[in-house]
Amino acid sequence: MSIAPPGAPPAPGTIACPRCDTTIGPDQAWCLACGAPARTRLVPTPNWRAPVAVLALIAVLAGIALAVAFVSLTNDTEPAAPVNSQAPPPSATTAQPPAAAQPTPTEPAPTTAAPQGTTTSAPGTATGEGGTATGEGGTTSAP
Summarize the confidence of residues 103-120 as an average pLDDT: 63
pLDDT at 116 over 80: no
Summarize the confidence of residues 72-78 as an average pLDDT: 86
108 vs 122 pLDDT, higher one: 108
What pLDDT, in 10s, does the model give residues 19-56? 898 888 888 888 889 988 877 777 788 888 999 999 99
| C-alpha Rg value of the chain to the nearest Å | 52
pLDDT at 50: 92
Between CA 124 and CA 122 the distance in angstroms is 6
The percentage of residues in the chain with a pLDDT greater than 90, rounded to a whole number, is 19
Q: Model-level pTM?
A: 0.30
pLDDT at 71: 93
Between CA 24 and CA 13 the distance in angstroms is 9
